[in-house]
Amino acid sequence: MEITTLEGLYQHPTNRLTLGKELQYLERIYGDSFCEKLKIPKLIADLINSKLYQHSNHTIELESVHEQMAKTYVTNIVVRQAGEVLGYIRWEVYDFDKVLLRSKTIEKKLVRKRHISSASAERLSKEYDTHFKPEEQISKAKNLVSSTIQAMKQEHSRQMSLQSPVKSFARSLVPYLMQNIDNYKELAISNGYDPDQLEELHTVWSNLTLVESVIGDRDINGSGFFVHVEGDTCLVLDAHKNKKGAHYSYALPEQIGRAVGMLKLTENCTFIRNVGYKYDSSTYFIAGEYNE
């Protein structure tokens, strides 16, 4: 495979062709000779050049390198659109003749192989255009529901791990209940509870009840539904990622509109008591049953 340098790539604006941390470090080390020092297969360089021109909304990051025989080769490239990873261009130095393309659609299509490899510029260009595309909304919504469930469960686990002051307090007051804390805290202190933990006790218990007011105390399944908003479309999915409904963003049912309106005002990864959870600006979990 013919090898060239990075010099031919630096004709693009820096916000379209960027360097990963590893290459940024090498750029500082090599200085003016950086583009000459780093090598890249001409097949990949030509592919990058053509696709940056053809797809004005694509950005490409030279992510990592491999050193062999006192030479440094760019081996991993990431392609993005509006921050979303579309796919990867990779080159194995030990498989000298072929370039690998990987993306979510390729992995779904080629379950065992999980990539496309070729030494043909024409085929690589065609496969790039076919598979390096943003996900459809329903596919993106399903993936974000998975991420939202994971983030919510992680927060619940984190809050549970912080409950030692509550457990200590409860052990001091058995059979008394947590909702009567103010009535029995003096008795707890007299029974050996550390008064310095009282402030922390209120905080961690309040945080746990906040999370559980949205997802319940055991499992997210069945306790609410997910809303994914993109453009004018709002999809509703359950915890199993099954589509339950669809609405226009400007004509949402009152239940969803009120909850999403409140959650939009919060930071990402935030719970609102008895309302729901905001994962990001497009994905929300709403407590309660979905009513069309």
Q: What is the dihedral of CA 160, 166, 168, 172, to 10 degrees?
A: -140
Q: What is the b/e burial string over 217-240, where b = at least 16 CB atoms within 10 angstroms of the residue's CB?
A: eeebeebbbbbbbbeeebbbbbbe
Please report the pLDDT score of residue 9 as a whole number.
77
Contact between 87 and 127 (Cβ < 8 Å)? no
Q: Is the pLDDT of residue 210 over 50?
A: yes
Beta-bridge mates of residue 227? 236, 284
Tell me the average pLDDT across 191-204.
80
Which of these, 246, 282, 245, 277, lies nearest to 143 by C-alpha position?
Answer: 282
Tell me the average pLDDT across 15-36.
90
Tell me the average pLDDT across 4-22.
79
Percentage of residues in the chain having pLDDT higher than 70:
91
Q: Is the pLDDT of residue 193 over 90?
A: no
Which band of pLDDT confidence, cut at 50, 70 and 90, is reported for residue 219? low
Tell me the average pLDDT across 144-173.
85
Contact between 59 and 17 (Cβ < 8 Å)? yes
Q: Is the pLDDT of residue 171 over 70?
A: no
Q: What is the dihedral of CA 183, 189, 192, 196, to 10 degrees?
A: 120
Dihedrals phi, psi of 109, to nearest 5 degrees: -75, -40
Please report the pLDDT score of residue 184 as a whole number.
66
Please report the pLDDT score of residue 173 as a whole number.
54
Which pTM was predicted?
0.51
Please list, in sequence order, all residues whose beta carbon lies within 8 angstroms of the beta carbon of residue 160, skipping any fewer than 6 positions away: 208
Please report the pLDDT score of residue 174 as a whole number.
45
Which band of pLDDT confidence, cut at 50, 70 and 90, is reported for residue 10? low
Which of these, 283, 151, 292, 287, lies nearest to 229 by C-alpha position?
Answer: 283
How much is the mean pLDDT over the chain?
86
